[in-house]
Protein backbone atom coordinates (compact mmCIF):
# COMPACT_ATOMS: atom_id res chain seq x y z
CA UNK A 1 0.00 0.00 0.00
CA UNK A 2 1.39 3.38 -1.00
CA UNK A 3 0.44 7.01 -0.53
CA UNK A 4 0.07 8.51 -3.99
CA UNK A 5 -0.57 12.14 -4.94
CA UNK A 6 -2.19 12.42 -8.37
CA UNK A 7 -2.69 15.69 -10.24
CA UNK A 8 -5.07 16.03 -13.18
CA UNK A 9 -4.67 19.07 -15.47
CA UNK A 10 -7.34 21.10 -17.26
CA UNK A 11 -7.90 18.85 -20.28
CA UNK A 12 -8.15 15.82 -17.97
CA UNK A 13 -11.13 17.43 -16.16
CA UNK A 14 -12.48 19.41 -19.15
CA UNK A 15 -16.08 18.23 -18.73
CA UNK A 16 -18.26 15.97 -16.61
CA UNK A 17 -17.47 12.87 -18.69
CA UNK A 18 -13.74 13.43 -18.27
CA UNK A 19 -14.22 13.96 -14.53
CA UNK A 20 -16.08 10.64 -14.34
CA UNK A 21 -13.16 8.96 -16.11
CA UNK A 22 -10.75 10.48 -13.59
CA UNK A 23 -12.99 9.10 -10.82
CA UNK A 24 -12.77 5.62 -12.35
CA UNK A 25 -8.96 5.81 -12.48
CA UNK A 26 -8.75 7.08 -8.89
CA UNK A 27 -11.06 4.30 -7.68
CA UNK A 28 -8.88 1.70 -9.40
CA UNK A 29 -5.85 2.85 -7.39
CA UNK A 30 -7.98 2.97 -4.23
CA UNK A 31 -9.23 -0.58 -4.84
CA UNK A 32 -5.59 -1.70 -5.07
CA UNK A 33 -5.30 -0.50 -1.47
CA UNK A 34 -3.43 2.78 -2.01
CA UNK A 35 -4.10 6.02 -0.15
CA UNK A 36 -4.86 8.86 -2.53
CA UNK A 37 -4.63 12.62 -2.53
CA UNK A 38 -5.94 14.06 -5.80
CA UNK A 39 -5.09 17.60 -6.91
CA UNK A 40 -7.15 19.18 -9.69
CA UNK A 41 -6.88 22.09 -12.09
CA UNK A 42 -9.84 24.06 -13.36
CA UNK A 43 -11.57 22.80 -16.52
CA UNK A 44 -9.40 23.71 -19.53
CA UNK A 45 -10.07 27.25 -20.69
CA UNK A 46 -11.78 28.22 -17.43
CA UNK A 47 -8.89 30.23 -15.94
CA UNK A 48 -8.61 32.16 -19.22
CA UNK A 49 -12.38 32.71 -19.31
CA UNK A 50 -12.40 34.10 -15.76
CA UNK A 51 -9.40 36.30 -16.55
CA UNK A 52 -11.15 37.85 -19.53
CA UNK A 53 -14.28 38.49 -17.45
CA UNK A 54 -12.15 40.53 -15.05
CA UNK A 55 -10.44 42.34 -17.92
CA UNK A 56 -13.81 43.30 -19.34
CA UNK A 57 -14.32 45.30 -16.15
CA UNK A 58 -10.83 46.66 -15.60
CA UNK A 59 -7.66 46.64 -17.74
CA UNK A 60 -5.51 46.07 -14.69
CA UNK A 61 -7.67 44.22 -12.14
CA UNK A 62 -6.91 44.22 -8.43
CA UNK A 63 -4.62 41.20 -7.75
CA UNK A 64 -6.43 40.12 -4.57
CA UNK A 65 -9.81 40.04 -6.29
CA UNK A 66 -8.28 38.27 -9.30
CA UNK A 67 -7.15 35.44 -7.01
CA UNK A 68 -10.59 35.28 -5.41
CA UNK A 69 -12.07 34.95 -8.90
CA UNK A 70 -9.59 32.51 -10.48
CA UNK A 71 -9.68 30.02 -7.61
CA UNK A 72 -13.37 29.36 -8.29
CA UNK A 73 -12.31 27.31 -11.33
CA UNK A 74 -10.59 24.69 -9.18
CA UNK A 75 -13.36 24.80 -6.57
CA UNK A 76 -15.82 23.63 -9.24
CA UNK A 77 -13.78 20.63 -10.37
CA UNK A 78 -12.91 19.33 -6.88
CA UNK A 79 -16.57 19.30 -5.84
CA UNK A 80 -17.58 17.53 -9.06
CA UNK A 81 -14.86 14.89 -8.68
CA UNK A 82 -15.81 14.24 -5.04
CA UNK A 83 -19.42 13.75 -6.19
CA UNK A 84 -18.34 11.45 -9.03
CA UNK A 85 -16.20 9.38 -6.65
CA UNK A 86 -19.00 8.98 -4.10
CA UNK A 87 -21.30 7.97 -6.95
CA UNK A 88 -19.13 4.95 -7.73
CA UNK A 89 -18.76 3.95 -4.10
CA UNK A 90 -15.42 5.60 -3.38
CA UNK A 91 -15.63 7.85 -0.34
CA UNK A 92 -14.06 11.25 -0.93
CA UNK A 93 -13.88 14.77 0.50
CA UNK A 94 -12.92 17.95 -1.37
CA UNK A 95 -10.87 20.75 0.16
CA UNK A 96 -9.80 24.23 -0.92
CA UNK A 97 -6.16 25.21 -0.46
CA UNK A 98 -7.09 27.16 2.65
CA UNK A 99 -8.91 24.22 4.20
CA UNK A 100 -5.79 22.06 4.08
CA UNK A 101 -3.72 25.03 5.22
CA UNK A 102 -1.53 25.63 2.22
CA UNK A 103 0.12 28.75 3.61
CA UNK A 104 1.71 31.11 1.05
CA UNK A 105 3.27 34.56 1.02
CA UNK A 106 0.98 37.39 -0.05
CA UNK A 107 2.29 37.87 -3.62
CA UNK A 108 -1.10 37.59 -5.31
CA UNK A 109 -0.92 35.89 -8.70
CA UNK A 110 2.52 34.37 -8.07
CA UNK A 111 2.50 33.35 -4.41
CA UNK A 112 5.07 30.94 -3.00
CA UNK A 113 4.13 28.10 -0.68
CA UNK A 114 5.62 28.59 2.80
CA UNK A 115 4.10 25.70 4.71
CA UNK A 116 1.52 22.93 4.43
CA UNK A 117 -0.23 21.40 7.43
CA UNK A 118 -0.72 17.71 6.58
CA UNK A 119 -2.76 16.79 9.67
CA UNK A 120 -6.24 17.26 8.26
CA UNK A 121 -5.43 15.32 5.09
CA UNK A 122 -3.81 12.48 7.06
CA UNK A 123 -6.86 12.16 9.31
CA UNK A 124 -9.14 11.74 6.30
CA UNK A 125 -6.75 9.33 4.58
CA UNK A 126 -6.72 7.18 7.72
CA UNK A 127 -10.51 7.15 7.61
CA UNK A 128 -10.22 5.62 4.16
CA UNK A 129 -11.27 8.72 2.22
CA UNK A 130 -9.82 10.01 -1.00
CA UNK A 131 -8.69 13.58 -0.34
CA UNK A 132 -9.40 15.92 -3.28
CA UNK A 133 -7.56 19.25 -3.13
CA UNK A 134 -7.93 22.37 -5.29
CA UNK A 135 -4.67 23.04 -7.10
CA UNK A 136 -3.09 26.45 -7.82
CA UNK A 137 -4.34 28.08 -4.59
CA UNK A 138 -3.39 28.80 -1.01
CA UNK A 139 -3.97 31.41 1.69
CA UNK A 140 -1.67 34.02 3.16
CA UNK A 141 -1.31 34.46 6.91
CA UNK A 142 -4.27 36.86 6.99
CA UNK A 143 -6.47 34.29 5.27
CA UNK A 144 -6.53 36.04 1.88
CA UNK A 145 -6.82 33.60 -1.02
CA UNK A 146 -3.71 33.51 -3.21
CA UNK A 147 -2.71 31.75 -6.45
CA UNK A 148 0.62 30.21 -7.41
CA UNK A 149 0.99 31.44 -11.01
CA UNK A 150 -0.27 29.83 -14.23
CA UNK A 151 0.20 26.09 -14.26
CA UNK A 152 0.46 26.18 -10.45
CA UNK A 153 -1.52 23.00 -9.79
CA UNK A 154 1.64 21.04 -10.60
CA UNK A 155 3.32 22.83 -7.72
CA UNK A 156 0.42 22.14 -5.35
CA UNK A 157 0.71 18.43 -6.14
CA UNK A 158 4.46 18.21 -5.65
CA UNK A 159 4.31 20.31 -2.48
CA UNK A 160 1.57 18.08 -1.03
CA UNK A 161 3.60 14.99 -1.94
CA UNK A 162 6.59 16.49 -0.11
CA UNK A 163 4.53 17.50 2.94
CA UNK A 164 2.87 14.08 3.20
CA UNK A 165 6.04 12.19 2.33
CA UNK A 166 4.15 10.44 -0.47
CA UNK A 167 5.58 7.43 -2.27
CA UNK A 168 4.96 8.99 -5.68
CA UNK A 169 3.57 12.15 -7.27
CA UNK A 170 1.86 11.45 -10.59
CA UNK A 171 1.11 14.35 -12.94
CA UNK A 172 -1.63 13.31 -15.37
CA UNK A 173 -1.93 15.44 -18.48
CA UNK A 174 -2.87 15.27 -22.18
CA UNK A 175 0.46 13.82 -23.35
CA UNK A 176 1.86 10.50 -22.13
CA UNK A 177 5.08 11.87 -20.69
CA UNK A 178 7.90 14.32 -21.22
CA UNK A 179 9.02 14.38 -24.86
CA UNK A 180 12.25 15.40 -26.56
CA UNK A 181 10.34 18.55 -27.51
CA UNK A 182 6.72 19.68 -27.56
CA UNK A 183 4.99 16.93 -29.60
CA UNK A 184 2.54 19.53 -30.88
CA UNK A 185 5.36 21.23 -32.77
CA UNK A 186 7.41 18.22 -33.85
CA UNK A 187 5.35 15.14 -34.72
CA UNK A 188 8.50 12.98 -34.56
CA UNK A 189 9.18 13.96 -30.93
CA UNK A 190 9.99 10.96 -28.77
CA UNK A 191 8.76 10.21 -25.24
CA UNK A 192 11.54 9.89 -22.70
CA UNK A 193 11.26 7.00 -20.21
CA UNK A 194 13.41 8.97 -17.80
CA UNK A 195 14.80 12.48 -17.55
CA UNK A 196 17.20 13.77 -14.92
CA UNK A 197 15.89 16.36 -12.49
CA UNK A 198 18.51 18.86 -13.72
CA UNK A 199 17.39 18.47 -17.32
CA UNK A 200 13.72 18.77 -16.38
CA UNK A 201 14.51 21.94 -14.46
CA UNK A 202 16.22 23.43 -17.52
CA UNK A 203 13.45 22.30 -19.88
CA UNK A 204 10.78 23.87 -17.62
CA UNK A 205 12.69 27.10 -17.08
CA UNK A 206 13.38 27.41 -20.82
CA UNK A 207 9.73 27.19 -21.76
CA UNK A 208 8.49 23.55 -21.77
CA UNK A 209 5.28 24.08 -19.91
CA UNK A 210 4.55 20.39 -19.34
CA UNK A 211 5.56 21.02 -15.71
CA UNK A 212 5.51 24.37 -13.93
CA UNK A 213 9.09 25.32 -13.05
CA UNK A 214 8.32 25.72 -9.34
CA UNK A 215 6.98 22.18 -9.16
CA UNK A 216 10.31 20.89 -10.47
CA UNK A 217 12.22 23.03 -7.96
CA UNK A 218 10.08 21.61 -5.15
CA UNK A 219 10.56 18.07 -6.39
CA UNK A 220 14.33 18.55 -6.38
CA UNK A 221 14.43 20.12 -2.95
CA UNK A 222 12.48 17.30 -1.32
CA UNK A 223 13.46 14.51 -3.75
CA UNK A 224 9.82 13.77 -4.54
CA UNK A 225 9.45 10.72 -6.82
CA UNK A 226 7.77 12.43 -9.78
CA UNK A 227 6.18 10.95 -12.91
CA UNK A 228 4.38 12.58 -15.86
CA UNK A 229 1.73 10.46 -17.58
CA UNK A 230 -1.45 10.64 -19.62
CA UNK A 231 -4.97 10.57 -18.20
CA UNK A 232 -6.20 9.48 -21.65
CA UNK A 233 -4.07 6.36 -22.12
CA UNK A 234 -2.29 3.75 -20.01
CA UNK A 235 1.49 3.69 -19.74
CA UNK A 236 4.54 4.27 -17.58
CA UNK A 237 5.02 7.91 -18.60
CA UNK A 238 8.28 9.68 -17.78
CA UNK A 239 10.09 9.35 -14.47
CA UNK A 240 12.12 12.30 -13.21
CA UNK A 241 15.32 10.83 -11.75
CA UNK A 242 17.75 12.28 -9.22
CA UNK A 243 20.85 10.31 -10.09
CA UNK A 244 22.93 10.98 -13.15
CA UNK A 245 22.60 8.21 -15.69
CA UNK A 246 25.80 6.37 -16.45
CA UNK A 247 27.79 7.93 -19.28
CA UNK A 248 26.92 5.08 -21.63
CA UNK A 249 23.20 5.73 -21.30
CA UNK A 250 23.53 9.50 -21.59
CA UNK A 251 22.10 11.00 -24.72
CA UNK A 252 24.05 14.02 -25.88
CA UNK A 253 20.92 16.15 -26.06
CA UNK A 254 17.82 15.13 -24.10
CA UNK A 255 15.45 17.74 -25.35
CA UNK A 256 14.72 21.01 -27.09
CA UNK A 257 12.78 23.69 -25.26
CA UNK A 258 11.41 26.90 -26.69
CA UNK A 259 9.77 30.01 -25.35
CA UNK A 260 7.53 32.31 -27.34
CA UNK A 261 7.03 34.83 -24.53
CA UNK A 262 10.23 36.70 -25.28
CA UNK A 263 11.14 40.25 -26.27
CA UNK A 264 14.47 42.05 -26.48
CA UNK A 265 15.48 45.65 -25.93
CA UNK A 266 18.69 47.53 -26.73
CA UNK A 267 20.00 50.80 -25.35
CA UNK A 268 22.42 52.33 -27.83
CA UNK A 269 25.38 54.58 -27.16
CA UNK A 270 25.73 54.00 -23.42
CA UNK A 271 28.99 55.38 -22.03
CA UNK A 272 31.36 52.53 -21.16
CA UNK A 273 32.07 53.12 -17.48
CA UNK A 274 31.43 51.45 -14.10
CA UNK A 275 27.86 51.49 -12.82
CA UNK A 276 26.11 51.84 -16.15
CA UNK A 277 24.58 48.34 -16.25
CA UNK A 278 23.29 48.82 -12.75
CA UNK A 279 21.81 52.25 -13.58
CA UNK A 280 19.96 50.75 -16.52
CA UNK A 281 18.90 47.42 -15.03
CA UNK A 282 18.27 48.57 -11.44
CA UNK A 283 14.97 50.34 -12.23
CA UNK A 284 13.85 47.29 -14.28
CA UNK A 285 14.39 45.05 -11.24
CA UNK A 286 12.70 47.63 -8.98
CA UNK A 287 9.63 47.39 -11.25
CA UNK A 288 9.61 43.63 -10.53
CA UNK A 289 10.52 42.78 -14.12
CA UNK A 290 12.77 39.79 -14.71
CA UNK A 291 15.69 40.14 -17.09
CA UNK A 292 17.00 37.02 -18.79
CA UNK A 293 19.91 37.11 -21.29
CA UNK A 294 22.15 40.18 -21.22
CA UNK A 295 24.71 41.11 -23.87
CA UNK A 296 27.03 44.09 -23.80
CA UNK A 297 29.13 44.98 -26.83
CA UNK A 298 32.79 45.88 -26.85
CA UNK A 299 33.03 49.65 -26.79
CA UNK A 300 34.41 51.39 -29.85
CA UNK A 301 34.37 55.13 -29.14
CA UNK A 302 33.89 54.97 -25.37
CA UNK A 303 30.27 53.96 -25.81
CA UNK A 304 28.61 50.58 -26.03
CA UNK A 305 25.22 48.93 -26.65
CA UNK A 306 23.44 46.91 -23.97
CA UNK A 307 20.83 44.36 -25.07
CA UNK A 308 18.70 42.12 -22.88
CA UNK A 309 15.64 39.91 -23.05
CA UNK A 310 12.47 40.14 -20.97
CA UNK A 311 8.98 38.62 -20.90
CA UNK A 312 6.92 39.85 -23.85
CA UNK A 313 4.21 41.16 -21.50
CA UNK A 314 6.73 43.56 -19.95
CA UNK A 315 7.94 44.95 -23.30
CA UNK A 316 6.05 48.27 -23.37
CA UNK A 317 6.77 48.99 -19.73
CA UNK A 318 10.49 48.32 -20.17
CA UNK A 319 10.72 50.56 -23.25
CA UNK A 320 9.06 53.39 -21.31
CA UNK A 321 11.36 52.97 -18.29
CA UNK A 322 14.51 52.75 -20.43
CA UNK A 323 13.63 55.75 -22.60
CA UNK A 324 13.44 57.89 -19.49
CA UNK A 325 16.76 56.65 -18.11
CA UNK A 326 18.51 56.85 -21.49
CA UNK A 327 17.45 60.49 -21.88
CA UNK A 328 18.67 61.27 -18.38
CA UNK A 329 22.02 59.54 -19.01
CA UNK A 330 22.50 61.13 -22.40
CA UNK A 331 22.57 57.66 -24.03
CA UNK A 332 21.37 56.91 -27.55
CA UNK A 333 18.14 55.35 -28.84
CA UNK A 334 16.17 52.61 -27.14
CA UNK A 335 15.12 50.03 -29.69
CA UNK A 336 13.42 46.69 -29.28
CA UNK A 337 11.80 43.68 -30.87
CA UNK A 338 8.90 41.73 -29.41
CA UNK A 339 8.69 39.17 -32.18
CA UNK A 340 11.53 36.96 -31.05
CA UNK A 341 11.68 33.49 -29.45
CA UNK A 342 14.25 31.49 -27.54
CA UNK A 343 15.19 27.96 -28.61
CA UNK A 344 17.36 25.85 -26.31
CA UNK A 345 19.15 22.51 -26.45
CA UNK A 346 19.25 20.73 -23.07
CA UNK A 347 21.32 17.72 -22.02
CA UNK A 348 23.64 16.64 -19.23
CA UNK A 349 25.62 14.82 -21.93
CA UNK A 350 26.87 18.25 -23.09
CA UNK A 351 29.22 18.38 -20.14
CA UNK A 352 31.49 15.80 -21.67
CA UNK A 353 31.17 16.76 -25.34
CA UNK A 354 32.58 19.69 -27.25
CA UNK A 355 31.24 21.02 -30.53
CA UNK A 356 27.53 21.02 -29.77
CA UNK A 357 27.22 24.80 -30.00
CA UNK A 358 29.02 24.93 -33.34
CA UNK A 359 26.81 22.15 -34.71
CA UNK A 360 23.71 24.01 -33.49
CA UNK A 361 24.83 27.23 -35.19
CA UNK A 362 25.63 25.39 -38.43
CA UNK A 363 22.20 23.71 -38.53
CA UNK A 364 20.49 27.08 -38.07
CA UNK A 365 22.73 28.71 -40.70
CA UNK A 366 21.93 25.97 -43.21
CA UNK A 367 18.25 26.84 -42.77
CA UNK A 368 19.00 30.55 -43.28
CA UNK A 369 18.06 31.39 -39.69
CA UNK A 370 19.85 34.37 -38.20
CA UNK A 371 20.88 34.06 -34.53
CA UNK A 372 20.22 37.28 -32.60
CA UNK A 373 21.58 36.33 -29.17
CA UNK A 374 23.32 33.33 -27.59
CA UNK A 375 23.69 32.12 -24.03
CA UNK A 376 25.15 28.92 -22.63
CA UNK A 377 25.47 27.04 -19.38
CA UNK A 378 26.93 23.65 -18.51
CA UNK A 379 23.91 21.71 -19.75
CA UNK A 380 22.13 24.07 -22.15
CA UNK A 381 22.64 26.32 -25.17
CA UNK A 382 20.00 28.94 -25.95
CA UNK A 383 19.64 31.11 -29.03
CA UNK A 384 17.25 33.94 -29.76
CA UNK A 385 15.80 33.91 -33.28
CA UNK A 386 12.95 35.67 -35.09
CA UNK A 387 9.54 34.30 -34.15
CA UNK A 388 8.77 33.25 -37.73
CA UNK A 389 11.61 30.70 -37.61
CA UNK A 390 10.54 28.96 -34.40
CA UNK A 391 9.08 25.79 -35.87
CA UNK A 392 11.72 25.47 -38.57
CA UNK A 393 14.52 25.87 -36.01
CA UNK A 394 13.08 23.33 -33.57
CA UNK A 395 12.39 20.75 -36.29
CA UNK A 396 15.80 21.16 -37.93
CA UNK A 397 17.62 20.82 -34.60
CA UNK A 398 15.46 17.87 -33.54
CA UNK A 399 16.49 15.99 -36.69
CA UNK A 400 20.13 17.08 -36.68
CA UNK A 401 20.63 15.97 -33.07
CA UNK A 402 19.03 12.59 -33.85
CA UNK A 403 16.08 13.01 -31.56
CA UNK A 404 13.45 11.99 -34.12
CA UNK A 405 11.39 8.89 -33.39
CA UNK A 406 12.93 5.77 -34.80
CA UNK A 407 16.52 7.07 -34.86
CA UNK A 408 18.91 4.63 -33.27
CA UNK A 409 20.72 6.55 -30.53
CA UNK A 410 23.88 4.61 -30.10
| Interacting residue ranges for ligand ADP, rule: CB under 6 A | 9-12, 41, 151, 173-175, 178-179, 181-184, 208-210, 255
| DSSP line for 14-62 | SSHHHHHHHHHHHHHHHHTT-EEEEEE-PPTTHHHHHHHHHHTT-SS--
Q: How far is the CB of 186 from Mg ion (least distance, A)?
A: 19
Question: Which residue's CB is nearer to ligand ADP, number 98 or number 151?
Answer: 151
Residue 47 found at the interface with ligand ASP (CB under 6 A): yes
Footprint on residues 124-143 left by ligand ASP (CB under 6 A): 135-136
Question: Which residue's CB is nearer to ligand ADP, number 159 or number 325?
Answer: 159
Residue in the shown chain whose Cβ atom is closest to ligand ADP:
9
Stretch that binds ligand ASP, among 40-48, 125-133, 297-305, 311-319 (CB under 6 A): 40-48
Whole-angstrom distance, CA of residue 233 vs CA of residue 334: 51
Footprint on residues 8-37 left by ligand ASP (CB under 6 A): 9-10
Question: Which residue's CB is nearer to ligand ADP, number 211 or number 306?
Answer: 211
Express the helix, strand and coil content of the chain in percent, nearest 5 each: 40, 25, 35
Handedness of CA 370, 374, 376, 379 (dihedral sign): negative
Whole-angstrom distance, CA of residue 309 vs CA of residue 207: 14
Q: Are 149 and 143 in contact (CB under 8 A)?
A: no
Angle subtended by helix axes 153-163 and 213-222, to nearest 10: 10
Cβ neighbours around 238 below 10 Å, total: 24
Q: How far is the CB of 70 from ligand ASP (least distance, A)?
A: 7
Residue 151 found at the interface with Mg ion (CB under 5 A): yes
Total site size for ligand ASP, rule CB under 6 A: 12
Interface pick for ligand ASP out of 6, 11, 12, 41 (rule CB under 6 A): 41
Q: What is the DSSP letter of 331?
A: -
- Binding residues vs ligand ASP (CB under 6 A): 9-10, 41-42, 47, 73, 135-136, 150-153
- Binding residues vs Mg ion (CB under 5 A): 9, 151
Amino acid sequence: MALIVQKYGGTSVANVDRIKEVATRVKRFRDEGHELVVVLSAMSGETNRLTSLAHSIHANPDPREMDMLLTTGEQTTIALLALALKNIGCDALSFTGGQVQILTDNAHGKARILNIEGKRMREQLHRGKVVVVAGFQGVDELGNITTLGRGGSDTTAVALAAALNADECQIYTDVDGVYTTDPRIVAEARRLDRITFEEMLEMASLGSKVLQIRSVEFAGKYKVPLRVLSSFTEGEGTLITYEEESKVEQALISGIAFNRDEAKVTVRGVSDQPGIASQLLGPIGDANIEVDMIVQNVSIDGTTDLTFTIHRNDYNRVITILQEIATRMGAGDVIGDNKIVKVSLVGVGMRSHAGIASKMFRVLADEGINIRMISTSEIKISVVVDEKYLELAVRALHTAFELDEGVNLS
